[in-house]
Amino acid sequence: MLEESKIQKVYLAILNNGPLRREMTTIVIPAMQKTKGVNVIWENPNKTWANPISSNRNKIVKRFLDTDCDYLLMIDDDVVPLHNPCEMVYVNRDVVASPALVRCEGGVMAWTAYVPHSDGVGYSAIDLNSFDDMLDVLEVAIVGTGCILVKRKVLETLKAPFHSEFDEDGIQTYGTDFAFSRKATKGGFKIYTMVHHRCEHFKRVGFSNIDAWDSVNYFDSSNKEYKIPWGADNITQKDWAFIKRYIEEVKPKRILEFGLGLSSLLMSEICEVISYATNSKHKVEIEAKCTDKNNLTIKLWDGRNFSNSDYISTHEEFNLLDGPKENEKFDFVFVGGPEEKSKGGIGRDAAIKIAAQVSDHIIIHDAGQMEEELYQRKYLRSIFKLVRKSGNHIARCHYWIRRPKSVTLEEVMAQMKVKKG
C-alpha cells in the first residue's frame, strides 16, 4: 500500500509532434493537477518532441532519473485518457498502463493488453470487455506505452528500457512497447493493465468513437414522426437499437426514466414510462409530441431527491431515497439525465442511486463519461453486474443486471481462478 502521508511525485511527459489535443490541456491535465496525494511535474512538451520514438523515450527516462520523482507517466499525443491517469498511482504497481484500441493485422481492433499465446509462441490481445466490472487491475504480459505509469525502481534497474528487439539478421522482432514489457518482466517486475479505465486513441477519428456514429447503412426512421433528430442531446439510432433489444428481452410493464427526450417517446410506445425531468419547458415540448400510442407520464424534480423537490408538492408514489416499497419497484430503469455537472447540469448521482434501489435492470446512457463511471462504481458495481456495453465510445450505453447477491473483489478473483482451472 502507498504511504498515506507521503505525496507521490509524478513526472509527466507527453510525447508529441506539435500542439497537444484540446481534451488533454482543458480536461485531463487540470484533473491530474488536482489529484489527491499526487504532485505532477509536467515536462516542457518542447523537450518531448523528438524521433525516433525509442530514443525519445530513453531520453525522457534519463531526465526523469535526474529528478526525485516517484513515477514516470508517459502519454502519447494521439492518446487521451478517458479518466484521470494520475489515479493509477493508487493501484501501487511497478508498471501499469491504461489501454487504448489499436488496429491490428487484418484490420482487427484490439486493446493494448496482451497475454502469451496458448501455444507459447507470441502474444494475444485480451478482451477487456469480458472481465467483471469489479476488477480494476489485471496482470498481463505486455502493455502498450501510449499511457503508461512506471515506478522509479523499474527504470533505475533497466538499462535502455525502451529499445526494440532484433534478431541476428537485424530484423525487428518486437517493437518498443512489447520490448519494454518483456525487459521489465525479465528484470523481475510485473506488468498490469487497467481493465475499465481506458484511453481514446485518435487517428483521423478516435478508434473507440468509430462505433458511436450512425451511418446511412444503419437507418432508423422511428424518430421521424416526432421531428426530433437522432444524436446531439438525444439518443442515437444505435443507442435505440441497444435499448430496444433489452426492453424487448425483459418485457417490462413499467419503466422509470431519468432525463427526457426522444427516448421517452420511443420507450412509451412499448410500455408505460414514468419520466423525471428537471426542465419544465422541455416537459411541455415533449408532452406536445405525445399521441394516443404514448403511455408517458412526465414529472418534474430537482435532480437531487424527491422529498425536497421544489417542483413536487406531493410524493406519495415515491420516497425512494428513504427506501422503496414493494409497489414502487420498476421493471426497468433508463438513466439519460439529468445533464452532467461538467456541462453545467445537476449530474446523475441521485438518479443512479435511485435506479439501484428500484429495479433489477438498468441502462445508463453516456456511461463512459468520467462522472457516470464514478457514479456507476459508487452505486452499482458490487450489487449489479455490467453485462453489456453498446460500444467503446464515451457516449455508450451500459446495461446492468442485479446480481443474485452482492460480491467482493476477492470473490470475483476466486471465480476467475476457478474458470482458469
| Farthest-apart Cα atoms in the chain, separation | 80
DSSP 26: I
Confidence (pLDDT) at 66: 95
Q: List, for residues 16-49, the tens digit of each pLDDT value.
A: 888 888 888 888 899 899 898 999 999 888 888 7
Of 65-69, 233-237, 278-282, 335-339, give the range with the top mean pLDDT.
65-69
Confidence of residue 362 (pLDDT cuts 50, 70, 90): very high
- CA angle 349/399/267 to nearest 5° reads 90
Q: List, for residues 277-298, the tens digit of each pLDDT value.
A: 888 898 999 999 999 999 999 9
Confidence (pLDDT) at 293: 93
Confidence (pLDDT) at 165: 86
Confidence (pLDDT) at 106: 63
Say which residues have a Cβ less than 8 Å from residue 313's Cβ, sequence separation at least 6: none
CA nearest to 226, candidates 276, 272, 290: 290
d(CA 155, CA 71): 9
Say which residues have a Cβ less than 8 Å from residue 87's Cβ, sequence separation at least 6: 35, 197
d(CA 132, CA 317): 35
Q: Are 397 and 239 in contact (CB under 8 A)?
A: yes
Decide which of 161 and 175 is more confident: 161
* 416 φ, ψ (degrees, to nearest 5): -65, -40
Give the CATH class of 8-209. alpha beta
Confidence (pLDDT) at 212: 52
Q: Is the pLDDT of residue 322 over 60?
A: no
Section 74-97 average pLDDT: 92
Entry pTM:
0.66
Q: Is the pLDDT of residue 120 over 80?
A: no
Radius of gyration, CA atoms only, the chain: 24
- What is the domain partition of the chain in residue ranges? 8-209, 213-402
- Paired with 75 in beta bridges are 14, 147
State the cell numbers at 180: 519494454
Section 122-130 average pLDDT: 83
Work out the angle between the directed axes of helices 176-186 and 53-65 (0-180°, nearest 10).
Answer: 40
Q: Is the pLDDT of residue 418 over 90?
A: no
Q: Does domain 213-402 have CATH number 3.40.50.720?
A: no
Confidence (pLDDT) at 296: 95
